[in-house]
């Protein structure tokens, strides 16, 4: 899931932050020590600049905080969008205008956030690792998260491992396999959609009623998946 961002709207965000904290021009600090560190740098939409010279320890500390922000922002935005949808019935179009992210990216982040409770998100793995597993059942998600942590898999390595697993399932089950059985998909955190026979597209998470899917259509879905997989492989080889 690619996350695209429109940086043209970030200056407005920085202006809002400045208005909330007059004279700072930087994000508010949660404590005095952090405030002292933040006072040493100026952050804009397209730049990070120290006010004065930094020693090595300060540079490392600030870099660690930037890394935390980078790894967490997709989760934060996903949770923020889901909260707005639940509390205010907000539309993605407004969220896109507020954040500067395109609607599809916000939908991706909200979907991934909705598929992993806070306690199940792994600090040692990126948001992209979780995104690769979002359409799977909780059981399969946890199994692959454990595997990725144990083997220190990159996002690409995890994707390749899942492709191999899916291909093995297809060889075993044949073309008449239900899509959700092929990839272990679920419609929600509880897996109730899987138990009730609701299929979920392994690529986009679109929900399908399995009872209404004829065998020929199921075979077509499998064929489309295989074609999509071949195209993705060719693109990665370029």
What is residue 38's predicted lDDT score, i.e. its pLDDT? 58
What span, in angstroms and rounded, lies between the C-alpha atoms of 162 and 83? 31
Determine the straight-line distance between the first and last CA of the chain, rounded to whole angstroms. Answer: 19
- Residue-wise pLDDT tens digits, 112-169: 999 999 999 999 999 999 999 999 999 999 999 999 999 999 999 999 999 898 888 7
Q: In this structure, how many other beta carbons lie within 10 angstroms of the beta carbon of residue 132?
A: 22
Q: Yes or no: say if 225 and 203 are a contact pair by the CB < 8 Å rule.
A: yes
- Residue-wise pLDDT tens digits, 55-104: 999 999 999 999 999 999 999 999 999 999 999 987 888 999 999 999 99
What is residue 170's predicted lDDT score, i.e. its pLDDT? 78
What residues contact 45, with CB distance under 8 A and at least 6 apart? 7, 10, 11, 13, 14
pTM recorded for the entire structure:
0.61
């Amino acid at each position: 899931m690619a996350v695209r961002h429109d940086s043209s709207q970030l200056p407005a965000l920085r202006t809002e932050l400045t208005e909330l904290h007059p004279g700072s021009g930087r994000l508010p600090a949660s404590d005095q020590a952090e405030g002292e560190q933040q006072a040493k740098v100026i952050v804009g939409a397209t730049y990070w600049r120290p006010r004065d010279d930094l020693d090595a320890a300060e540079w490392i500390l600030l870099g660690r905080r930037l890394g935390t922000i980078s790894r967490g922002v997709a989760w934060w935005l996903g949770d923020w969008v889901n909260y707005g949808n639940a509390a205010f019935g907000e539309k993605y179009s407004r969220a896109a205008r507020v954040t500067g992210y395109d609607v599809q990216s916000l939908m991706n982040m909200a979907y991934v956030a909705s598929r992993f409770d806070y306690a199940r998100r792994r600090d040692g793995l990126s948001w992209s690792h979780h995104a690769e597993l979002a359409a799977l059942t909780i059981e399969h998600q946890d199994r692959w998260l454990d595997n990725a942590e144990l083997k220190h898999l990159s996002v690409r390595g995890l994707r390749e491992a899942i492709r191999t697993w899916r291909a093995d399932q297809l060889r075993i089950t044949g073309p008449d396999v239900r899509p959700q059985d092929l990839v272990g998909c679920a419609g929600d955190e509880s897996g109730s959609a899987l138990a009730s026979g609701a299929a979920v597209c392994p690529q986009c998470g679109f929900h399908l009623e399995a009872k209404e899917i004829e065998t020929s259509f199921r075979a077509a879905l499998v064929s489309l998946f295989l074609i999509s997989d071949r195209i993705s492989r060719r693109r990665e080889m370029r």
